[in-house]
Amino acid sequence: MPKSRVLLQVDTDPHPSVFDSVVALDAGVDHLLRHGGVDPEGVRSLVHGCIFTRGPDELKNTAIFIGGSDVARGEELLRQIQAAFFGPLRVSVLLDSNGANTTAAAAVLAASKHLELAGGDALVLGGTGPVGQRIARLLAGAGANVRVGSRQPERAQSVVDELLARHPSGNLSAVATGNRQDLADALSGVQVVFAAGAAGVTLLPSDIRKGAGGALHVAIDLNAVPPLGIEGIDVMDRGAEREGAKCYGAIGVGGAKMKIHKAAIRRLFEAHDLVLDAEEIYKLATSSGA
């Protein structure tokens, strides 16, 4: 008789995310073990509870999901979880703190449906945030020419340096977006723009977007809280044509994000040694029909 599918949800926030829990159950998890306030120093005992309770041939039926609002802390949890594995005693792990990886994958997937990413020019507004960084990372991996935008150019350059360490052959540059002229210059010649900044902040006014002319083919806004990140896009847009560009709002992208999230949870139980980070989740998204 096959073992039940058990998912350990470790969350860096005091209370584990109800959103992530519901998605896990909807994805077919049999038993969900929820732990909040998990810190990197204390996660080893939880991992050992996963790897010492079933034989190596049954470990694929146990998996770990890392969530919480602090993405950097989630990344450290992933490192410590991997350090607790040894030999064949390991289980698959999915990192999706703050939904950053599944959201980035859904956004880049949406853009890829309308243009060839390799060799294309892309601008990521709010590019220093967790979602923005992962969008830039996925775009660089796809061969796009990526402009990482920020109102603080030194922060954008720091992100570019980190991404180049991961993708040495990537074509990445930091651009300032702190005033209207800087923003217009950053948008010049771009085929796709993503807005991934903080909620309630307009990153791209409609007149500057319209001034980009025919070069801009796709505009994707991931902010669902008014005012939207890209002015003139509707939160429900899903490939809507606006001023010659295919436009997506946060809810328009959200459907694909949910499909990707569930597909990633199900993927965990196909093997015992998977690590699903941004690149692996995007690869899964491209093959899952999301």
pLDDT of residue 289: 66
Q: Looking at residue 214, what is its pLDDT?
A: 79
Given its phi and psi angles, is residue 232 left (phi above 0), alpha (psi -120 to 50 degrees) or beta? left
pLDDT tens string 179-229: 999 999 999 999 999 999 988 889 999 999 988 877 999 999 999 888 999
The mean pLDDT of 137-149, rounded to a whole number, is 96
* Distance between CA atoms of residues 29 and 146, nearest Å: 37
Q: What is the pTM of this model?
A: 0.95
pLDDT, residue 174, reads: 96
Q: For the segment 269-281, what is each residue's pLDDT rounded down to a tens digit?
A: 999 999 999 999 9
pLDDT digits (tens, 9 = 90+) for 225-253: 889 999 999 999 999 999 889 999 999 99
pLDDT at 1: 66
CATH top-level class of 102-253: alpha beta
Query: Which CATH number is 6-95 given?
Result: 3.40.50.10280
Residue from 174, 213, 227, 219 nearest 195 by CA: 219
Residues ≥6 apart with Cβ < 8 Å to 150 = 126, 127, 128, 156, 159, 174, 175, 176, 177
User: What's the pLDDT score for residue 67?
Assistant: 97
Residue 166, H or E segment: helix 153-166
Give the residue extent of every domain in the chain. Answer: 6-95, 102-253
H helix and E strand count, the chain: 10, 12
